[in-house]
Chains A and B, each alone.
Chain A
């Protein structure tokens, strides 16, 4: 097949036009990248193209989901029984702990009411499932199957049964992308549970660990210490486990201690996660408390002016009275 060799396919030397075109395209790509870096175009584009993009994500997530359900369907019977047993034990343990905690929580609630603080132990959460999609190598992001339509907003913390996983980074109509705490560009304010030391945990380069690069030399940090979210910064609510210190050493400069921590959450394995609804403390001083007067039955019956509150105060005891008087009458 003797083909006439035209100019577009020379054997050795290239032509100038091709090079020019390459330079043009490269310049275009560079401009796009810079603009995107500044303005976040990609996500706006993805948002508008969501009709096309999201089904593709679902399609790409199918193999992972299929393998998951296959392993459930053809799983070893013994393995499943074992898993069931273990889950039952976990549930029993968790329930026992919960019962114990309920009393403490109630007490805490009462004390907090006395102190007039507003943060509560109540959690507003939303269950989400991880869609198995590869969002690029070394990116430390996961995709969830809930999105703006379910009320997800960027910045929401994501947790699993063991601890904090990350926060919602981008939201599409029915999917959202979570940046994991192990992402090298992520930082999370933490507190060492044992000593109360506050510091910041960053994601590390290999993506499986957290690093705490600036702990004061004199600080009390040991291997095995638990890290909790400190709530500083208002993104993550305080008190959730973040990780456990696995390694402490002085930094090369000798000015700080550098610690490594293993994340508490099952970052590689979780397939169901919880989205916390924003409950960060609002900044600024608390709102002024409602004025508190003497107890109702001691309050003087208000004449005229503040009739409404006076009325309710007066009628409330009145409703109880007939029954008690009835008891007396009998």
Chain B
């Protein structure tokens, strides 16, 4: 019971940390390279544990993210929902991919997410963003293997204690 509760706090903690990381600024030069942390974190948990991440949860996390740094309420909720839905649908296959295939899949998911965001912003009447807009998904995908290894390792350590 307490182990389960620990696991849950660990889960919530990583999500909160991802939201915080999203808010932490980088130097102006590195700004376009910033990955979309909440998406990566949610993806990890979707692939890792079967019933923790649901669409409703993704929606809730997205609303929180919007509350903190969004410009439009519901924007990130929409994006995270779509992302988690696709990940949940292909979960069984994604899990058994070798790491490089998984990374490519994550890249596709993140690119899809950027396209969604672009559509939303264009509909809201914003200007077309510059080319550096498309760097972020690649950085996110490149970080994916390390992120999974790190989170797996931390989780294993926590379980052992």
Contacts and interface: CB of A to CB of B under 8 A. Distances in A.
Interface of A: 5, 8-11, 14, 18, 21-22, 25-26, 28-33, 35-37, 41-42, 45-46, 49, 53, 56-57, 59-60, 63-64, 132-139, 184-185, 205-207, 268
A239 B158 CA distance: 62
A41 B63 CA distance: 12
Contact of B71 (A29, A42, A53): A42
Contact of A25 (B20, B59, B66, B91): B59
Interface range for B: 35 or more
- 4 closest cross-chain pairs (CB), A and B: A32-B74, A60-B23, A29-B78, A36-B73
A133 B70 CA distance: 12
Given A25-B56, A133-B25, A205-B130, A30 B68 contact: no
B59 A136 contact: no
A136 B19 CA distance: 12
13 contacts: A11-B93, A22-B81, A25-B55, A29-B78, A56-B20, A134-B23, A134-B24, A134-B26, A134-B31, A134-B69, A185-B125, A205-B127, A206-B130
A11 B92 contact: yes
A37 B73 CA distance: 8
B85 A56 contact: no
A190 B23 CA distance: 34
Contact of B25 (A32, A41, A53, A134): A134
Given A22-B85, A60-B20, A268-B28, A137 B34 contact: yes
Main secondary structure of the interface of A (DSSP, over half): helix
Contacts of B34: 134, 137
A65 B161 CA distance: 35
B55 A22 contact: yes
A64 B27 CA distance: 9
Contacts of B59: 25, 28-29
A312 B9 CA distance: 78
B147 interface: no
A53 B65 CA distance: 11
Nearest to B81: A25
A33 B120 contact: yes
A263 B26 CA distance: 22
Contacts of A41: 73
B5 interface: no
Nearest to A15: B89
B133 interface: yes
Given A21-B55, A132-B25, 8 more contacts: A5-B92, A18-B89, A29-B74, A29-B75, A33-B120, A36-B74, A134-B22, A134-B69
B124 A37 contact: yes
Contacts of A205: 127-130
Interface string B51-67: 10001101100100011
Contact of B66 (A9, A42, A59, A133): A42
